[in-house]
Amino acid sequence: MDSAAAIAAAAPPEQASAPVNLALEGMTCAACAARIEKALNRVPGVEASVNFATESARVHYDPSRANPRALLAAVERAGYRAHVKRDVSAERRDDVARKLAAYRTLRREFIIAVMLTLPLLAPMLAMLWRGALPVGSESADLLPRWLQFALATPVQFWIGRRFYVGAWRSLRGGGANMDVLIVLGTTMAWALSSVVTVLGLNHQHVYFEAGAAVITLVLLGKLLEARARAGTSAAMEGLLRLQPKTVRVARNGTTVEVPLEEVVVGDRVQVRAGESVPVDGIVREGQSSVDESMLTGESHPVAKAPGAFVHAGTLNQEGLLSCEATGVGDTTLLAGIVRLVAEAQGSKAPIQRLADRVSGVFVPIVIAIAVATFALAWWFGREGTQALIDAVAVLVIACPCALGLATPTAIIVGTGRGAQIGVLIRNATALELAGRLKVLIVDKTGTLTEGKPEVTDVLPADGTARGELLCVAASLEQGSTHPLARAIHAAARAANVVPRPLVEFVLAAGKGVHGRLAGTDGEAMLGSLDYLAEQGMVADAATAAGLHRAGKTLVGVAVAGRMLGLIALADRIRPTSAAGVARLRQAGIDVVMLTGDNAATAQAVADRVGIVEYRAGVLPSAKAEAVRGLKSRGIVTGMVGDGVNDAPALAAADVSFAIGAGSDIAIEAADITLMRPDLGAVVDAILLSRATVAKIRQNLFFAFVYNVLGIPLAAFGLLHPAIAGAAMAASSVSVVGNALLLRGWKATH
């Protein structure tokens, strides 16, 4: 079936029981995400997962116990804001505009903060050149203290107001986040310095520069982080930009240019050379070649002629095409891809659980460490103001942002990169598990082969006409969508054979069919030679063996207990199958072929593509049992298929792959959809998974090591708060930057 229909089927319209996606506002760190997630999961009948990097929540709820209003209210009670996401494309466009406006505001505030903070830091820099002046001496203050107060106060309360707002929301909701740490630390430094200044205690040092520098550096970190995080979703934004804003449509006998939003199904759309296709549709007039690499990852252009399908976002390279729109807006393949990837980017990988548990209790623990640092430093004779500054450094450096960004940023970039190469990953769990596969089970028809068998031989028995054999076979296969049935019908049409009406019909799944035909005495049967042998009808062994050795599939036909003859069919092996199997073996994955075909045909195909282990004569239910058997031995098992009969096995596998041109049932059951009918795409998905998980582990290592090293250094008085603020900002930026390296990932061939 067409890929667009398959993707649309995989993402049905929202219903009361469907998952709800919430866009969240006000989060500043991983602790915020943990707080919102806990608040949502307290609502009866709700299971929620919050993603800090995408600022979104995916919620499953029982409609008899909860509703979207209750979800939004829970987020509000936690101290944050939310709204329900609707149209994916419009939501992303609004999100981009909102983030751009927030980025510009943040940049403006950062510039003002720098201008106010640099004079405060100038004495510190001068002291590096001149040598430290005695603390407490008036000459140590190169700027009058009232001027330091005047410069630091707007930075603290105007530029830094976002931290106070965020801290209040978090505390009001019963939690504590990064903003609480920053507000506690910088406010203590500002308050101490202000008291010393107002009371004229010249023997005491002031720390106006510490609080102002921390706020400025945190803003710098957020600015760089926002810029870097915008790059994580660049793949999806690029896909959305593929559609033109205006479309040439034939209306009332003339061609007019209208906004894309006004195009409806059935419109005739003109696409000129060099233009992007605006809708999904069927070519009615014209011939051209279309670049579909942005959707499938396939670099070679695809020829298009009347009757061919085209998809929104692809590029018409030459010639004028007139297409009838079959999918517009959210019903296009492009929108389906964006929807599936957005869902995957909002999901959580199992590897993230440790980070979530740490983030949930991190802030209270840090506050306790800061209090202990102050108390112990004072107890062991350290000056009170210096003990307070040590505590401030602990509060500032212990930001859980890097921990919260470590996993989701890598998942966002990884799934986006997958979409660019034609690999659509349904969720983060599949992305993580794909890299751990040890065994991949592959179906033969439609996976290793092209799935378009053709009748090669019609062999009637003595006393039976060729047309009679085709007539009975085509009659029994009426209504079937199986590839073999379509091939038999095509052969019958080519021979001008008209099928007879079916009076009775019984299907033996995976074996054959039998029934009664109008005008025929006795029961008619069609199926595998083993199936007919069970009924007492045996084909000529020598003839059958020769055809099997040639890799052909045999179908026997009988009426009233008498064999009418054999029909041989052949399905071409995909040119890429042998290379795909070789790449899988190089990646350390064992490949097992399962097929309902006979052993001789299975062996012929296995030999040609390089598969050592295969099983023939396997019924659809047995395929699922084979998958469960491997899983029961603790082997991470994958399954790739394209047909309806593959769905049970796909559902049973740890990770399942569906060929994008296959059935909607197979795609619905699969964890990863391959837009290219190529086994090599499975290898690309596995290698991308391994690269993404490697980035996640690197990020978690960086985040944990940063906190494990930074907090003790600050507690022992070895870090000035300003340096701690710079280190905290650098940690978040480094984690996001490391994840962004995945944008340049390329599969090895």
Q: pLDDT tens for residues 433-454?
A: 899 999 999 888 778 888 788 8
How does DSSP assign 211-236, residue by residue?
HHHHHHHHHHHHHHHHHHHHHHTHHH
Last residue within a domain, chosen from 516, 548, 570: 570
Residue 143, number of CB atoms within 10 A of its CB: 17
Q: Which of 390, 443, 646, 664 is catalytic?
A: 443
**Average pLDDT score, the chain:** 80
Please check whether residues 442 and 584 belong to one and the same domain. yes
> Looking at the structure, do residues 530 and 444 belong to the same domain, yes or no?
no
Which residues constitute the domain of residue 313? Answer: 244-277+280-327
Pair 604, 545 in one domain: no
Q: Is 443 one of the catalytic residues? A: yes
- pLDDT 10s digits, 471-491: 999 988 886 767 788 889 889
- Which amino acid is residue 439, in one-letter code? V
At a CB cut-off of 8 Å and minimum separation 6, what does 371 contact?
Answer: 391
User: 584 and 504 in one domain?
Assistant: no
Residue 749 confidence (pLDDT) = 60
Structure token pair of residue 18: 């469907």
497 lies in the same domain as 516: yes
Mean pLDDT on 534-558: 84
The answer to which of 43-52, 61-70, 81-90, 548-557 has the lowest mean pLDDT is 81-90
d(CA 454, CA 470): 14
Q: CA-to-CA distance for 143 and 257, rounded, in angstroms?
A: 65
Residue 439 and residue 479 share a domain = no
Residue 485 in domain: yes
Position 79 in a domain? no
Examine the domain organization and report whether 497 and 470 are in the same domain: yes
CATH code: domain of residue 257: 2.70.150.10
For residue 136, is it within any domain? no
Name residues whose C-beta falls within 8 Å of residue 172's C-beta, 6 or more positions apart in sequence: 79
pLDDT tier at 32, thresholds 50, 70, 90: confident
Please report the pLDDT score of residue 6 as a whole number. Answer: 37
Structural domain tally of the chain? 3
Rounded to 10 deg, the angle between the 466-476 and 483-494 helix axes is: 140
Choice between 382 and 437, residue whose per-residue pLDDT is larger = 437
Residue 586 pLDDT level (bands cut at 50, 70, 90)? very high
The percent of residues in the chain predicted with pLDDT above 70, rounded, is 83
What pLDDT, on the 0 to 100 scale, is given for residue 313? 83
